[in-house]
């Protein structure tokens, strides 16, 4: 039986009841939480920063999977990321599309320098091959199955096919990089991704705001592949 991680996306949580939401997802068996940082520049939406992350960390020992949809300007990647690291991020994922070549090089070096778990995310229209040269240096690759920016969008099946391609490539090269999928995940689309070989499923609107959240989450955690 394969073990899957489900990372409920805080983006869809009720912030007035965040403590309760965190307790429920932990009780349901989630070990990760997905924290979407948006800057109103790389994506047309704004969310939250290190302060909320630190508050979550002060309450929870969940793995804090930070997905930064941001462009970094006028400062080093390291100085931009340090507040998130200090706040308790377990891993930080940046978008390939948002980084200059120099920023990408710096980001990859931070893995060793700061003992940081790092990931690269790619948008639905970005070819998978862009991450191939860096796989050995990455803890995870995040395959976006919606355009980044908002929760509640529909899954793009074509983008999910990259999971299968990446699984084959990782197995061939014996890399242990995790494959994470984000966008439009529910029971059906989650199963497609599991059959393609995903490791981590992000889910926001499918989980939060539903009275049967626990059943839904446990369904995503289950190994139901064929």
Nearer to ligand DX5, 191 or 202 (CB): 202
**Is residue 67 at the binding interface for ligand DX5, with CB under 6 A as the rule?**
yes
Encode burial over 59-96: b for 16+ CB neighbours within 10 A, e otherwise.
ebebbbbbbbbbbbeeeebbebbeebbebbbbbbbbbb
Known active-site residue 55: no
Residue written as token pair 């899957």: 4
Near ligand DX5 by CB under 6 A, which window of 5-13, 23-31, 49-57, 94-102? 5-13
Token code pair at residue 165: 């391609």
**Is residue 153 at the binding interface for ligand DX5, with CB under 6 A as the rule?**
yes
For residues 187-206, which are near ligand DX5 according to CB under 6 A? Answer: 202-206
Nearer to Zn ion, 182 or 199 (CB): 182
- Whether the CB-CB separation of 200 and 179 falls below 8 Å is answered with yes
Question: Which partner, ligand DX5, Zn ion, none, binds residue 183 by CB below 5 to 8 Å per kind?
Answer: ligand DX5
Residue in 39, 139, 182, 199 annotated catalytic = 182
- Among positions 22, 25, 32, 36, the unique one binding ligand DX5 when judged by CB under 6 A: 36
Nearer to ligand DX5, 52 or 114 (CB): 52
- Among positions 72, 92, 160, 185, the unique one binding ligand DX5 when judged by CB under 6 A: 185
Provide the terminal-to-terminal Cα distance of the chain, rounded to the nearest Å.
Answer: 11
3-state secondary structure of 4: coil
**Is residue 37 at the binding interface for ligand DX5, with CB under 6 A as the rule?**
no
Known active-site residue 20: no
Nearest to 204 by CA among 180, 184, 189, 187: 184
**Is residue 11 at the binding interface for ligand DX5, with CB under 6 A as the rule?**
yes
Q: How far is the CB of 202 from Zn ion (least distance, A)?
A: 6
Q: How far is the CB of 115 from ligand DX5 (least distance, A)?
A: 25
3-state secondary structure of 122: strand
Nearest to 142 by CA among 122, 158, 168: 122
- Whether the CB-CB separation of 145 and 185 falls below 8 Å is answered with yes
Residue written as token pair 């197995």: 171
Residues labelled as active-site residues: 36, 182
The contact set with Zn ion (CB under 5 A) reads: 36, 67, 182
């Amino acid at each position: 039986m394969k073990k899957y991680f489900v990372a409920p996306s805080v983006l869809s949580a009720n912030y007035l009841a965040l403590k309760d939401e965190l307790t429920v997802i932990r009780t349901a068996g989630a070990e990760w939480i997905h924290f979407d940082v948006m800057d109103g520049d790389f994506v047309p939406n704004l969310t939250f920063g290190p302060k909320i992350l630190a508050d979550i960390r002060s309450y929870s020992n969940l793995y804090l999977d930070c997905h930064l949809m941001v462009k970094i300007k006028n400062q080093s990647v390291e100085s931009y990321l340090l507040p998130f690291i200090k706040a308790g991020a377990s891993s930080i994922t940046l978008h390939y599309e948002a980084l200059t070549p120099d920023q990408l090089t710096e980001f990859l070096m931070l893995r060793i320098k700061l003992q940081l778990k790092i990931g690269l995310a790619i948008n639905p229209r970005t070819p998978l091959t862009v991450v191939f040269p860096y796989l050995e240096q990455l803890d995870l690759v995040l395959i976006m199955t919606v355009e980044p920016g908002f929760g509640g969008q529909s899954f793009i099946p074509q983008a999910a096919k990259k999971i299968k391609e990446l699984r084959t490539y990782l197995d061939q090269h014996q890399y242990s990089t995790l494959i994470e999928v984000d966008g439009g995940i529910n029971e059906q689309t989650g199963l497609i991704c599991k059959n393609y070989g995903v490791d981590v499923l992000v889910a926001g609107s499918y989980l939060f705001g539903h009275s049967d959240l626990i059943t839904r989450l446990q369904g995503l955690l289950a190994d139901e592949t064929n």
